[in-house]
Amino acid sequence: MNDHPNLTGPGLAGTECLVLGAGGFIGLNLCRALSVAGASVRGYGRASAFPGALPPLRWISAEFSDRSMLTDALEGVDTVFHLLGASIPAHAERDPADDLRTNVAASVELLRLCRTAGVRRIVYISSGGTVYGVPRSLPISETHPTDPISAYGIHKLLMEKHLGLQAYRYGMRVMVLRASNPYGPFQIPDRGQGLIATLIQRRLSRRPVEIWGDGRIVRDFLHIDDLVDAMLRAAIYEGSHGVLNVGSGIGRSVLDVVASVDKVLDTKGAEILYRPGRAVDVPANVLDVALTQRELGWVPRTEWMLGLRGTAEWIASTCHPALLTLRSAGPLT
Amino acid sequence: MNDHPNLTGPGLAGTECLVLGAGGFIGLNLCRALSVAGASVRGYGRASAFPGALPPLRWISAEFSDRSMLTDALEGVDTVFHLLGASIPAHAERDPADDLRTNVAASVELLRLCRTAGVRRIVYISSGGTVYGVPRSLPISETHPTDPISAYGIHKLLMEKHLGLQAYRYGMRVMVLRASNPYGPFQIPDRGQGLIATLIQRRLSRRPVEIWGDGRIVRDFLHIDDLVDAMLRAAIYEGSHGVLNVGSGIGRSVLDVVASVDKVLDTKGAEILYRPGRAVDVPANVLDVALTQRELGWVPRTEWMLGLRGTAEWIASTCHPALLTLRSAGPLT
């Protein structure tokens, strides 16, 4: 990984890393990868749904708003991975003022705590799917205007700007990764986020699939292993860019995804329920990842159908033990 | 004024206008101009320092955070001029999280109240001097990246995005005017904002002038009459642009301004105290106003030395009655 000129030699071995939001989908996968890379890992957040999948780490079970626990957790930390607290999409939409008062203010306050603690670097997961708003062209590069059409996207953008301020004013090393839609093992279906996990779960349990709009909106889906790979590289990146897109660079419509899932599960023709389109959904989002490839020496490696199959196997084994037969299915065509 | 194709015929006559922050420098000048234009004016805010200068209007003396007073004030209003509440520069710098919890959250909440009240249009004064950050080229057009180096600038940008959301999502007519540094009558000296008023006041009272940095930072100064003219045009604009720069388009260093003031007052050679430069100050800011000129049929009309002289006369007569002789000084060269 660290043979790229922008990445430091020794990598993450021995580095003290704090993962904020370690109990979630991205956090859990990240903790595992950090552990493999030899980092010393602290996890902060609510309890993980899969504690058995966590690597050896120091776990701090606390709310993000708990300033004294955060201060404690930050002591001696070199690199912070910030995966939580900016906003929850539905809450931000319903009451943006309250989202500012609670989630966003806590996230901004965190930056001051990081400074006080002497944190050297922050890797922040922003939202490549919402900060740009309606795209003027595809794929979307990092210089595209940022006019979100959701309060969630606006608040992510606000955090990006406050992080940029830390870099400019205090010399903190800040990496904003504008991630597309991650999918893969440990993403819990039916939580209102994670189209692929939810589709697979619905198909496996023979429940109808729900789609907002006509299914033609296009999104960029990225396997979690590729996102985590980019995050580890961002943590040792020494180049000049502070904001990078992290996506597959490939656009797929929701109906395409349904078709792919049906192919993996051999469930074609199953029922789809069409719901009204949502005002927060941009018509299309595909990220241009050329800059990221060049700067981080990174490429998304997970082949689409293999990624889906692995995800389906994880959901089947974790959420549907009765369907474990899927594991022994033949190779994909 | 309304002979431009983008401006509606009848203008503001009879329009119900609410000015939030009517007691301040911009607000007072705006209320006077709206009254002359025949609008029905309501002023909201803390008490004006110059109540005698206010035109006939309905005055609502209340804090911005008073939701019930705001709701009352908004009833039947067509156009809101929003001049307050986003942030106070020094407070935003000292405690950005608290600024979000109080000022910014109240400002975002206002948008919901406007929607509920059926407000048709909001004209918002943003900060052309801070939202762009360090300029990559001069003059700065509206498409320049927005990377503020101050929390104040970030929070102004956040408000712009939330306003854009109202336009996109609910069809509200939103005009964001990114104003440069306004100066002119009714700007109170020595309040930490308003370089020109403060310089004039210091010179008139024979106190030393303080400058942060070496005096070479460049700013765009705009006479308040020209800013108000742009605001009135923005209130009847029917074109497609939602964000416009409003500045003189001319860059002047702080030392240039000191020299001009000294020329107007005939106080050349007076003392300057150099203070350390401030981290929040970008090195230069000059706005490109070509788009605004085209869209609003607007040009900044106030000649620099005449604008300074009028400002000096107002300060002399209001704050220094003993120096009223300035009024009878000869024509400027």
Task: Give the domains, in start order, of chain A with CATH numbers.
Answer: 16-183+223-246 (3.40.50.720), 195-219+250-285+302-327 (3.90.25.10)
Distance CA B35, CA A266 (A): 71
Chain A contact set for B112 (CB, 8 A): 97
Beta-strand pair A181-183/B272-275: unpaired
Chain B residues within an 8 Å CB radius of A86 = none
**Alpha carbons B81 and B30: distance in angstroms, whole number:** 9
Residue among A282, A241, A30, A277 at smallest CA distance from A153:
A282
Length in residues, chain A: 333
Whether residue A143 lies within 8 A of chain B, CB to CB, comes out as yes
H/E stretch holding A135: none
In this prediction, residue B332 carries a pLDDT of 35
| B326: pLDDT strictly greater than 70 | no
CA–CA gap between residue A111 and residue A117 (Å, rounded):
10
Query: Counting one residue from A and one from B, how many pairs have CB atoms under 8 Å apart?
Result: 66
| pLDDT(A284) > 60 | yes
- Residues in chain B with CB shorter than 8 Å from the CB of A105 are 97-98, 100-101
Q: CB of B104 within 8 Å of any CB in chain A?
A: yes
Nearest to B257 by CA among B235, B246, B247, B272: B272
**Lowest-pLDDT range, A52-56, A140-144, A175-179, B218-222?**
A52-56
Please indicate if any CB of chain A lies within 8 Å of the CB of B279.
yes
Helix (H) or strand (E) holding A251: strand A251-253
- Chain B residue closest in CA terms to A143: B145
Q: Which residues of A touch B97 (CB under 8 A)?
A: 105-106, 108-109, 112
User: Tokens 């070199």 identify what position?
Assistant: A78
User: Shortest CB distance from A158 goes to which of B109, B154, B169?
Assistant: B154
pLDDT value of residue B113? 97
Q: What are phi and psi of B270, to 5 degrees?
A: -70, 165
Q: Which residues of chain B lie closer than 8 angstroms to A148, CB-CB?
A: 161, 165
Tell me the pLDDT tens digit for each residue of B183-196: 999 999 987 778 99
A158/B162 CB distance under 8 A: no
Predicted confidence (pLDDT) at residue B136 exceeds the cutoff of 90: yes
Rounded Cα gap, residues B43 and B81, in angstroms: 10
DSSP B187-217: PPSSSSS-HHHHHHHHHHTTPPEEEETTS--
Give the strand pairing for A218-223 and A251-253: antiparallel
Look at residue B234 and tell me whether its pLDDT is greater than 80. Answer: yes
What CA–CA distances, in Å, run from A279 to A133, A212, B122, B170? 12, 10, 21, 10
pLDDT category of residue B321 using cuts at 50, 70 and 90: low
Confidence of residue A86 (pLDDT cuts 50, 70, 90): low
pLDDT band at A146 (very low <50, low <70, confident <90, very high): very high
Please indicate whether, in this complex, the C-beta atoms of B162 and A169 are within 8 angstroms of each other.
no
What average pLDDT does range B87-102 have in this prediction? 88
Contacts of A192 by beta carbon, 8 Å cutoff, 6+ apart: A89, A90
Is B91 a residue whose pLDDT tops 90? no
Note whether B151 contacts A165, CB cutoff 8 Å.
yes
* Interchain contact B164–A (C-beta under 8 A): yes
Average pLDDT, whole number, for chain B?
Answer: 91
Pick among B67, B95, B99, B100 to test the A interface (most A CBs inside 10 A): B100
d(CA B13, CA B34): 9
Say whether A322 sits in a helix, a strand or coil: helix
Q: Contact at 8 Å (CB) between A279 and A286?
A: no
Question: Of A108, A161, A164, which is closest to B100 when you measure between CB atoms?
Answer: A108
CA distance A154 to A157: 5
Q: Is B277 on the interface with A (CB under 8 A)?
A: no
Q: Is residue A181 within 8 Å of residue A220, measured between CB atoms?
A: yes
Q: Which of A136-145, A277-286, B32-41 has the lowest mean pLDDT?
A: A277-286
Say what the alpha-carbon torsion angle A120, A126, A131, A136 is, to the nearest 10 degrees. 100
pLDDT digits (tens, 9 = 90+) for A188-206: 998 777 899 999 999 998 8
Q: Is A130 an interface residue toward B (CB < 8 Å)?
A: no
Cis peptide before B139 (omega within 30 of 0): yes
State how far the alpha carbon of A129 is from the alpha carbons of A122, A283, B20, in Å. Answer: 21, 11, 35
The partner residue sitting opposite A168, judged by closest CB among B97, B109, B149, is B149
pLDDT category of residue A64 using cuts at 50, 70 and 90: confident
Contact A98, B105 (CB under 8 A): yes
pLDDT band at B10 (very low <50, low <70, confident <90, very high): confident
Residue of A nearest to B156 (CA): A158
Across A141-150, B48-57, B167-176, B289-298, least confident range = B48-57
